[in-house]
Amino acid sequence: MTENWRTAFLLYFKPIVFGMVALGFSAGLPYQLIFFTFALWLRDAGVDHATIGFLSWIGILYVLKIFLSFVVDRFPLPLLIRWLGRRRSWMLLAQFCIAACLIGMSRQNPITQLPQLTFLAIAIIFSSAIQDVVVDAYRIEAVSADYQGTMSAAYVTGYRIALLVSGAGTLYIAEYSNWQTAYFLMAGTMTIGIVATLLIKEPNPPVLEQEPLFDNLLKNLLSPFTEFFQRNGRGWSFVILLFVGIYKMSDITLGVMAGSFYMDLGFTKSEIANVTKVFSFFSAIVGATFGGVLVVRCSVVKPLLFGTIAAAVTNLLFVALAVSKPTLTWLAIVVTADSFFASMATTILIAYLSSLISKEHTATQYALFSSLITLPSQIVGGFSGMVVEYYGYPIFFIYTAVVGLPAILLAAILIRKKHE
CB 153 within 8 A of CB 292: yes
Check pLDDT > 90 for residue 153.
no
Least confident of 19-28, 171-180, 193-202, 290-299: 290-299
Check pLDDT > 60 for residue 8.
no
Dihedral sign of CA atoms 195, 355, 237, 240 in order: negative
CA distance 150 to 232: 25
In degrees and rounded to multiples of 5, residue 404 shows phi and psi of -90, -5
Of the pLDDT bands very low, low, confident and very high (cuts 50, 70, 90), residue 15 is: low
CB 188 within 8 A of CB 89: no
What separation in angstroms does the CA of 120 have from each of 24, 55, 96, 115, 133?
Answer: 22, 13, 14, 9, 20
Using one digit for the tens of pLDDT, what is the confidence trace for 365-394? 776 777 777 777 777 777 787 888 888 889
CA distance 348 to 364: 20
One-letter amino acid of 241: L
More confident call, 161 vs 7:
161
On average, the pLDDT of the chain sits at: 81
pLDDT average, residue stretch 129-142? 83
Domains in the chain with CATH codes: 2-419 (1.20.1250.20)
What separation in angstroms does the CA of 48 have from each of 40, 113, 138, 183?
Answer: 11, 16, 40, 22
Question: How high is the pLDDT of residue 14?
Answer: 67
Question: How high is the pLDDT of residue 12?
Answer: 56
Give the range with max mean pLDDT: 35-49, 56-70, 346-360.
Answer: 35-49
pLDDT average, residue stretch 79-105? 87
CA distance 271 to 278: 10
Using one digit for the tens of pLDDT, what is the confidence trace for 218-240? 566 677 778 878 887 888 888 88
Would you tell me how many other CB atoms lie within 10 Å of the CB of residue 288?
Answer: 30
CA distance 225 to 204: 22
CB 367 within 8 A of CB 268: no
Q: Of the candidates 91, 73, 71, which has an alpha carbon nearest to the alpha carbon of residue 23?
A: 91
Check pLDDT > 70 for residue 312.
yes
Question: How high is the pLDDT of residue 220?
Answer: 61
Of the pLDDT bands very low, low, confident and very high (cuts 50, 70, 90), residue 100 is: very high
Question: How high is the pLDDT of residue 1?
Answer: 43
Question: How high is the pLDDT of residue 3?
Answer: 43
Question: How high is the pLDDT of residue 2?
Answer: 44
CB 90 within 8 A of CB 153: no
pLDDT average, residue stretch 286-290? 84
Question: How high is the pLDDT of residue 157?
Answer: 82
Question: How high is the pLDDT of residue 283?
Answer: 85
Check pLDDT > 70 for residue 207.
no
Give the range with max mean pLDDT: 77-86, 173-182, 208-217.
Answer: 173-182
Residues in the chain: 420
Q: Over pLDDT 70: what percentage of the chain?
A: 86
Question: How high is the pLDDT of residue 254?
Answer: 85
- What string of H, E and C letters represents the secondary structure of the chain? CHHHHHHHHHHHHCHHHHHHHHHHHHHHHHHHHHCHHHHHHHHHHCCCHHHHHHHHHHHHHHHHHHHHHHHHHHCCCCCHHHHHCHHHHHHHHHHHHHHHHHHHHCCCCCCCCHHHHHHHHHHHHHHHHHHHHHHHHHHHHHCCHHHHHHHHHHHHHHHHHHHHHHHHHHHHHHHHCCHHHHHHHHHHCCHHHHHHHHHCCCCCCCCCCCCCCHHHHHHHHHHHHHHHHHHHCHHHHHHHHHHHHHCCHHHHHHHHHHHHHHHHCCCCHHHHHHHHHHHHHHHHHHHHHHHHHHHHHHCCCCHHHHHHHHHHHHHHHHHHHHHCCCCHHHHHHHHHHHHHHHHHHHHHHHHHHHHCCCHHHHHHHHHHHHHHHHHHHHHHHCCHHHHHHHHCHHHHHHHHHHCCHHHHHHHHHHHHHHHC
What is the chain's Cα-based Rg?
21
Q: pTM for this one? A: 0.69
Dihedral sign of CA atoms 21, 25, 28, 32 in order: positive
More confident call, 295 vs 146:
295
Check pLDDT > 60 for residue 217.
no
Q: Over pLDDT 90: what percentage of the chain?
A: 10
Which residues have CB under 8 Å from 144's CB, separation 6+?
Answer: none
Would you tell me how many other CB atoms lie within 10 Å of the CB of residue 343?
Answer: 27
pLDDT average, residue stretch 197-210? 69
Using one digit for the tens of pLDDT, what is the confidence trace for 105-125? 999 888 888 889 999 999 999
Would you tell me how many other CB atoms lie within 10 Å of the CB of residue 178?
Answer: 13
pLDDT average, residue stretch 312-320? 89
